[in-house]
Homo-oligomer: A and B are copies of this chain.
Amino acid sequence: MTKRIGYLGPKGTFTKLAVDAAFNGEDKHSFKTIPECIDAVNENMIDIGVVPLENAIEGTVQLTVDYLVHQVRLPIYAEIVVPIQQHLLVHSDFTGDLSEIEEIHSHSHAIAQCHQYIHKYIPWAGIKFTSSTGKAAEIVSGSDKYIAAIGNKLAAEEYGLAIYKENIHDYSNNHTRFAVLAKEKETVHIKHAVDTEKTSLLITLPSDYAGALHQVLSAFAWRKMNLSKIESRPMKTGLGNYFFIVDVNQPYDDVLFPSVKAELEALGCKVTILGTYPVYQLDI
């Protein structure tokens, strides 16, 4: 049966690029917001949801994490890591050079990611913000003015634009991480080799006392369980309460993780496994 895959739209965005690279020609649906996409998985309208987790252009990790923590607790069954490559896109009829470009259109995050390039090579151009990099490409494709968009390869293809200059982003090691959410693990088949395996935990501290976090990390440290990410976030219930998202660089097992969980619970923490899953680095 064809699987239904939902992602954060619109066309020509990094999420779509990740979905196209990771999955074969399944039935793909674009959603307008992260909560809508997560809800759709939860309500069985789609089988798989792909939402940004970290350093995204079109979304924010905080919204994804908060929605998964507070509203809809779906397991993460895979993580997709995609390098962010921003290009300067122009109308396919454009034959001029940089000095003729009067306006640059893009999402504010993409503009910011190419700050140094713009500052150095096109400082005179007017900056026009759009709701997404895909939208910027659409505007350029429908214009006869000397304007450019900043976006990825897919945005150029979707809207028939020419890539005037490749890789104009300031940092070459910028990545976006996407969570693949589903109700059934068997649903998720990604057409690439697994890079590493990870387990993500949500840990709520009993109260905000000095050294609480240190005590929590002890449970991982003496077992030599390596953490690749730790992030504190305020609870929505009030100021001064925190939860932590911790990524452990190993798959869930039946000895170490249950022991950590039991110890932390004895300290008064609440521990939830958000997922244990493979990580796929896509070079697209």
Interfacial residues, chain A to chain B (CB-CB below 8 A):
32-36, 39, 55, 58-60, 62-63, 66, 70, 107-109, 111-113, 115, 119, 127, 129-132, 135, 171, 173-175, 208-211, 213-215, 217-218, 220-222, 224-232, 234-239, 242, 244
Contact between chains at A232 and B231 (CB < 8 Å): yes
Q: How far is the CA of A115 from the CA of B37 in the complex (A)?
A: 11
Provide the main secondary structure of the chain A interface. Answer: mixed
- Our pick among B111, B132, B232 for the contact of A33 (Cβ within 8 Å) is B111
Q: How far is the CA of A226 from the CA of B62 in the complex (A)?
A: 23
Contact between chains at A171 and B129 (CB < 8 Å): no
Query: Of A59, A107, A130, A217, which is in contact with the most chain B CB atoms at under 10 Å from its CB?
Result: A217
Q: Write out the residue numbers on chain B whose beta carbons fall within 8 Å of the beta carbon of A226.
A: 208-211
Q: Write out the residue numbers on chain B whose beta carbons fall within 8 Å of the beta carbon of A63.
A: 109, 112-113
Contact between chains at B210 and A32 (CB < 8 Å): no
Contact between chains at B32 and A127 (CB < 8 Å): yes
Q: Write out the residue numbers on chain B whose beta carbons fall within 8 Å of the beta carbon of A132.
A: 108, 129
Q: Write out the residue numbers on chain B whose beta carbons fall within 8 Å of the beta carbon of A220.
A: 210-211, 214
Question: In the assembly, how many copies of this chain are there?
Answer: 2
Would A36 and B115 be within 8 Å (CB), given that A109-B63, A211-B224, A239-B173 are in contact?
yes
Q: How far is the CA of A248 from the CA of B174 in the complex (A)?
A: 28
Q: How far is the CA of A114 from the CA of B227 in the complex (A)?
A: 34
CB distance from A205 to the nearest CB of B (A): 11
Q: Write out the residue numbers on chain B whose beta carbons fall within 8 Å of the beta carbon of A70.
A: 171
- Our pick among B112, B213, B244 for the contact of A35 (Cβ within 8 Å) is B112
Contact between chains at A115 and B62 (CB < 8 Å): no
CB distance from A145 to the nearest CB of B (A): 19
User: Mind listing 24 A-B residue pairs with CB under 8 Å?
Assistant: A32-B108, A32-B111, A32-B127, A32-B129, A33-B108, A33-B111, A33-B127, A60-B60, A63-B112, A66-B171, A70-B171, A108-B131, A129-B135, A130-B131, A173-B235, A173-B238, A210-B220, A210-B224, A211-B220, A214-B214, A214-B218, A214-B221, A217-B217, A231-B231
Q: Write out the residue numbers on chain B whose beta carbons fall within 8 Å of the beta carbon of A130.
A: 131
CB distance from A173 to the nearest CB of B (A): 5
- Our pick among B35, B236, B242 for the contact of A115 (Cβ within 8 Å) is B35
Q: How far is the CA of A209 from the CA of B221 in the complex (A)?
A: 10
Q: Write out the residue numbers on chain B whose beta carbons fall within 8 Å of the beta carbon of A119.
A: 39
Contact between chains at A232 and B229 (CB < 8 Å): yes
- Knowing that A32-B108, A227-B232 touch, tell me 11 more A-B residue pairs with CB under 8 angstroms: A32-B129, A33-B108, A55-B62, A173-B235, A174-B236, A175-B234, A211-B224, A213-B217, A213-B227, A228-B232, A231-B231
Q: How far is the CA of A55 from the CA of B65 in the complex (A)?
A: 12
